[in-house]
Amino acid sequence: MTRISVTVDGTKYEDDVEPRLLLVHYLRDRLGLTGTPVGCDTSNCGACTVDLDGATAKSCSVLAVQADGSEVTTVQGLAVNGEWHPLQKAFHERHALQCGYCTPGMIMAARGLLRENPAPSADDVRHALEGNLCRCTGYQNIVRAVLDAAGATEPSAQEVAP
């Protein structure tokens, strides 16, 4: 067992974990943060994408011990005081999800793109999402949603706090 300290969606956790425990299983099975799903075992599908210290990561390809001391943001941590993130709104308005299983990872990956490239082209969006597979939408509405959300401001606690 190895002692780790991780902040997830703003809450600090300390736990003893087996070194082999995958970050995604730590989130799901230990912390009960089941908003981040598992879709494959080869790092291909991207459903488990989270933000790890400011950069996207596939949480099935990171050991929980590697996240020791880190800050993790999951799809469950995006809304602030109930206000959805612009990507969450855009996915809803553009019908960019059907079954929704890929959606948490899609949104986190798209968020990573917009942080680095606030005004992407449709082609940029497609390439930035190449590691996130969707089986329902054919991607077209996902691309539309990300383009819609580009330029919108992320909510922050300061802005929406009364």
Nearer to another protein, 140 or 159 (CB): 140
- Least Å distance, CB 84 to another protein, is 7
Q: How far is CA 141 from CA 5, 37, 80, 101, 136, in A?
A: 38, 21, 25, 15, 11
Smallest distance from another protein to CB 7, Å: 17
Q: Which residue number, 29 or 159, has a Cβ lying nearer to another protein?
A: 29
Q: Which is nearer to another protein, 93 or 159 (CB)?
A: 93
Q: What is the nearest approach in angstroms of another protein to the Cβ of residue 160?
A: 16
Give the pairing of strands 11-17 and 2-8.
Answer: antiparallel
Q: CA of 85: how far to CAs of 12, 43, 92, 107, in Å?
A: 22, 26, 11, 9
User: With respect to another protein, which residue has the nearer C-beta, 7 or 133?
Assistant: 133
Shortest reach from residue 138's CB to another protein, in Å: 4
In the chain the first and final C-alpha atoms are separated, in Å, by 43
The SS3 assignment for 44 reads coil
